């Protein structure tokens, strides 16, 4: 087994709280669904949710109870059912899965064993700190997938979402660019960071040229102008692969949009609503983002440019990149409800002008939360990459078909996103909660 990273030690009670909170969120995301909904239609972009619930429990058991403690499996056949590295995606709908009650019981048993092994120590060991967070963060990622799976299938919104306050929900536009100077940036994670995923390792020098990057992501109104200008019908605006994709799926507008009496509406879970002009466009593929950029004479940022705009600080009188690097756009403190739209609280993106307290030092807004942001960058390993114990997290996806996204979405848990976090999807995916911000073309 690969050695584990030496992350920051975490109070034991905090780890227990994370485990319980992740468990509670998973249950909240599925408890109102029928047996039929928990299986759902067979699609290449999602999992049957009943399978996914068991897989989450299996992952906790595999990487902690079995690999660290050499315990025997709680159930005899869990590897054959839930090992995502061995069970082909297309077969997961056809497995003889336990029913929901039995699956929940399996989850609860594993949860309690994980909490029990933490013991009564005030501070967890480095090993416990790493693996407990790894499995909880894995669950957090699946909880985001549960959320957009409900959207994909047109299910009702999660029962815990609440209306956003008007000052957030209708904050308006946030136009314009900010200027980021040239310099050398250490792209990626540092061993001193409290936690990191393997594809962030290790920080390496990245030369940044001066760049103008937008303050906020592209809005629905801005994207609608492209649609109304027949952008989906103009081959010259699309990459070759993008045009092939557009023709293959018959895309004429973002996947959940439709026209009614001349006005755009959008399906949010199981309801049609008027398109909100100043909310960021969401559920668009990398291909669609690139086509919009060509139409608007803009471009997507490289992930290094994105990270600089999110994590560095301008220095008084300096025209080069000299400020310190921070873990979040606003500094070192963890995200909270005043800085970012996270944790699926409102069940949707909010206007791009919301959350000024979350601005980066250069003045970019919502670089954490609201929508994941596509970048130009192909997902590839940093120099010297070595996989962590969860070897299938990154390594299998360095295939040239995935692009890097940064920043998290409204459904991302606040503990699993930071400036150096690298998400990745194939360029055709538009079920995920992704939008984009842009840069000015170099003159």
> Would you give the distance in Å from CA 58 to the centre of its chain?
22
Residues 168, 125 share a domain: no
Domain region containing 192: 161-443
Collect all residues with Cβ–Cβ distance below 8 Å to 323 and sequence separation of at least 6: 312, 313, 314, 315, 361
pLDDT at 81: 97
Residues 230, 313 share a domain: yes
pLDDT at 204: 85
Q: Which two tokens stand for residue 297?
A: 């004479």
* 185 falls within a domain: yes
Residues 174, 101 share a domain: no
| CATH number of the domain bearing residue 26 | 1.20.120.450
pLDDT confidence bin for 318, thresholds 50/70/90: low
* 141 falls within a domain: yes
pLDDT at 372: 98
Sheet architecture: strand order including 298-299: 177-180, 211-214, 439-440, 298-299
pLDDT at 14: 96
pLDDT confidence bin for 320, thresholds 50/70/90: low
| pLDDT single digits (tens) 19-65 | 999 999 999 999 999 999 999 999 999 999 999 999 999 999 999 99
* 149 falls within a domain: yes
* 81 falls within a domain: yes
Count of structural domains within the chain: 2
Q: Residue 1: pLDDT above 60?
A: no
Residues 179, 70 share a domain: no
pLDDT confidence bin for 182, thresholds 50/70/90: confident
pLDDT confidence bin for 314, thresholds 50/70/90: confident
Mean pLDDT of 202-211: 90
Mean per-residue pLDDT over the chain, rounded:
95
Residues 181, 141 share a domain: no
Residues 184, 149 share a domain: no
Residues 149, 165 share a domain: no
pLDDT at 317: 53
Q: Angle 376-291-437 (CA atoms, 0-180°, nearest 5)?
A: 50
| pLDDT single digits (tens) 352-410 | 999 999 999 999 999 999 999 999 999 999 998 999 999 999 999 999 999 999 999 99
Of 105, 128, 153, the residue at which a domain comes to its end is 153
Of 136, 153, 170, the residue at which a domain comes to its end is 153
Using CA atoms, how far apart are residues 60 and 39, in angstroms rounded to an integer? Answer: 22
* 122 falls within a domain: yes
Residues 404, 255 share a domain: yes
H, E, C per residue of 362-409: CCCCCCCCCCEEEEEEECCCCCCCCCCCCCCCCHHHCCCCEEEEECCC
Mean pLDDT of 283-296: 98
- Give percent of the chain above pLDDT 70: 98
> In this structure, are residues 329 and 338 in contact, taking their beta carbons and an 8 Å threshold?
no
Alpha-carbon Rg of the chain, whole angstroms?
22
pLDDT at 2: 64
Collect all residues with Cβ–Cβ distance below 8 Å to 367 and sequence separation of at least 6: 306, 309, 310, 329, 358, 360, 373, 406, 407, 419
* 3 falls within a domain: no
Task: Please give the residue that has the higher pLDDT: either 332 or 3.
Answer: 332
pLDDT at 136: 98
Q: Residue 316: pLDDT above 70?
A: no
* 282 falls within a domain: yes
Residues 251, 395 share a domain: yes
| pLDDT single digits (tens) 399-432 | 999 999 999 999 999 999 999 999 999 999 999 9
Q: Residue 442: pLDDT above 90?
A: no
Residues 129, 179 share a domain: no
> In this structure, are residues 162 and 86 in contact, taking their beta carbons and an 8 Å threshold?
no
Using CA atoms, how far apart are residues 286 and 241, in angstroms rounded to an integer? Answer: 11
Mean pLDDT of 328-338: 96
| pLDDT single digits (tens) 50-62 | 999 999 999 999 9
pLDDT at 43: 95
Q: Which two tokens stand for residue 100?
A: 């929901």
Q: Residue 324: pLDDT above 90?
A: no
Helices (DSSP H) in 98-204: which residue ranges?
A: 100-118, 126-153, 166-169
Of 96, 130, 153, the residue at which a domain comes to its end is 153
Q: Residue 443: pLDDT above 70?
A: no
* 55 falls within a domain: yes
Q: Residue 15: pLDDT above 90?
A: yes
- Count of CA atoms in the C-beta half-sphere (13 A) of 359: 14
Residues 123, 237 share a domain: no
Using CA atoms, how far apart are residues 83 and 337, in angstroms rounded to an integer? Answer: 36
- Give percent of the chain above pLDDT 90: 91
Work out whether strand 271-274 and strand 423-426 pair parallel, antiparallel, or are unpaired: unpaired
Residues 194, 122 share a domain: no
| CATH number of the domain bearing residue 337 | 3.90.1580.10
């Amino acid at each position: 087994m690969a050695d584990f990273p030496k992350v920051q030690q975490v109070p034991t009670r905090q780890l227990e709280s994370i485990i319980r909170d992740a468990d509670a969120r998973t249950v909240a995301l599925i408890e109102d669904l029928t047996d039929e909904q928990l299986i759902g239609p067979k699609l290449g972009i999602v999992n049957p949710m009943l399978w996914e619930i068991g897989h989450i429990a299996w992952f906790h058991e595999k990487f902690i109870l079995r690999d660290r403690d050499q315990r025997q499996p709680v159930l005899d056949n869990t590897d054959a059912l839930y090992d995502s590295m061995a069970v082909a995606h297309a077969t997961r709908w056809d497995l003889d899965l336990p029913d929901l009650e039995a699956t929940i019981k399996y989850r609860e048993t594993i949860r309690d064993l994980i909490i029990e092994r933490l013991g009564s120590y005030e501070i967890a060991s480095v090993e416990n700190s790493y693996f407990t967070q790894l499995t909880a963060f894995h669950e957090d990622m699946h909880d985001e997938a549960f959320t957009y799976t409900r959207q994909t299938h047109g299910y009702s919104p999660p029962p815990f979402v609440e209306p956003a306050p008007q000052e957030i929900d209708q904050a308006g536009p946030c136009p314009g660019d900010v200027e980021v100077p040239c310099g050398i940036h250490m792209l990626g994670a540092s061993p001193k960071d409290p936690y990191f995923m393997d594809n962030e390792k290790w920080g390496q020098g990245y030369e940044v040229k001066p760049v103008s990057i937008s303050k906020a992501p592209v809005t629905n109104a801005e994207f609608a102008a492209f649609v109304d200008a027949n952008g989906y019908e103009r081959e010259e605006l699309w990459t070759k692969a993008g045009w092939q994709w557009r023709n293959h799926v018959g895309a004429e507008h973002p996947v959940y949009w439709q026209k009614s009496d001349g006005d755009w509406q959008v399906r949010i879970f199981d309801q049609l609503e008027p398109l909100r002009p100043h909310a960021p466009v969401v559920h668009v593929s990398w291909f669609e983002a690139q086509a919009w950029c060509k139409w608007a004479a803009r471009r997507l940022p490289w992930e290094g440019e994105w990270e600089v705009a999110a994590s560095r600080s301008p220095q008084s009188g300096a025209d080069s990149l000299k400020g310190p690097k921070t873990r979040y756009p606003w500094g070192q403190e963890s995200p909270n409800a005043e800085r970012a739209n996270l944790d699926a609280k409102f069940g949707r993106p909010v206007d791009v002008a919301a959350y000024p307290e979350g601005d980066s030092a250069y003045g970019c807004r919502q670089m954490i939360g609201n929508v994941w942001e596509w970048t130009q960058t192909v997902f590839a390993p940093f120099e010297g990459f070595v996989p962590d114990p969860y070897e299938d997290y990154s390594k299998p996806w360095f295939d040239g078909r995935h692009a890097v996204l940064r920043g998290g979405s409204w459904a991302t848990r606040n503990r699993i996103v930071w400036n150096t976090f690298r998400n990745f999807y194939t360029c055709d995916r538009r079920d995920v909660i992704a939008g984009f911000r842009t840069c000015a073309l170099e003159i």
